[in-house]
Chain A
Amino acid sequence: MKVKIKQWNAVAQWRWDTGNKDAADDEEGDVCGICRVPFEGCCPSCRVPGDDCPLIWGECSHVFHMHCLLKWIGTAASKQQCPMDRRPWATAERRVDNAPPPTT
């Protein structure tokens, strides 16, 4: 049998690299713990996901939508602590893991 390609449709998908390699093991791994919207979606105050609604990594390795985290850090009750582990929040330079930086 010979297949002749007449037409093809490109399908592209993107996702933030959250450094969570075991996403399958961790059901909540790809959801922002604050708004519970997947990282691929945007935070509740944005309309369009992507670069306008970036993610932010803490040195504790927790990830959130940047807008969600900043809103929390802005509240007095947060005491500037991570919403996950209540350790003092320190923004990491980039995602915290051992993988080499993406080569794109």
Chain B
Amino acid sequence: MLKIWSMKKNEDAVAKKKPKTSAAQIRVQKDLTELDLPDTMKTHFPDPNDLLNFTLTITPDDGMYKGGSFVFSFAINTNYPHEPPKVKCTQTIYHPNVDLEGNVCLNILREDWKPVLNLNSVMVGLQYLFLEPNADDPLNKDAAQELIKNREHFLSNVKQSMRGYNIKGVQYQNVMG
């Protein structure tokens, strides 16, 4: 009995030293191999050994945000897929569903997340925000108001913000890179 205990302890020690691939990592690996992204989306792994932290660049080829290049950071914690990935826009952009800190309002990243969704569904959802910005449940209320009141004016604000102009006192970031 004693021996078994000490063996067990040794095993634990080994396991601690060399952490086995976590469930989240295994799942992320699968998600990444199943990614089926259009040419308008590219992932980038700053540290190739760290699959849990990466960026996604979206370059919409249609809609009001066409021509821009939008970079999102993905941070996946060990509870994935029980918790959604944490996604933020790394730039200050003019969008009704993205606030000035880069927080994104996308239902599947919040209340509608479910573990059977994968990274592909999140990425496709993000791209959809650029094709169809929506004024319901906005994070940038000014932008949402403008979208409802005057679509033309909203569009011109979008275009200006993408070139790095200042709109209503907010300095936006040039994303035309």
Contacts and interface: CB of A to CB of B under 8 A. Distances in A.
Interface of A: 33-37, 43-45, 68, 71-72, 75, 77-78, 81, 83-84, 86
Given A45-B23, A72-B82, A36 B30 contact: yes
A84 B27 CA distance: 16
B74 interface: no
Given A34-B81, A75-B82, A77-B83, A83 B115 contact: yes
Nearest to B113: A77
Interface residues of B, number: 17
Contacts of B111: 77
Q: Is the interface of B mostly helix, strand, loop or mixed?
A: loop
Contacts of A68: 115
A44 B116 contact: no
Q: Is the interface of A mostly helix, strand, loop or mixed?
A: loop
Contact of B112 (A37, A43, A84, A86): A86
A36 B113 contact: no
Given A36-B30, A75-B82, A83 B114 contact: yes
Interface of B: 22-23, 26-27, 30-31, 79, 81-83, 111-116, 118
B27 A33 contact: no
A26 B114 CA distance: 20
Contacts of A34: 81-82, 115-116
B169 to A, nearest CB: 36
Contacts of B31: 36
A99 to B, nearest CB: 24
B120 to A, nearest CB: 12
Contacts of B112: 86
Contacts of A84: 114, 116
B23 A33 contact: no
A37 B111 CA distance: 25
A68 B26 CA distance: 14
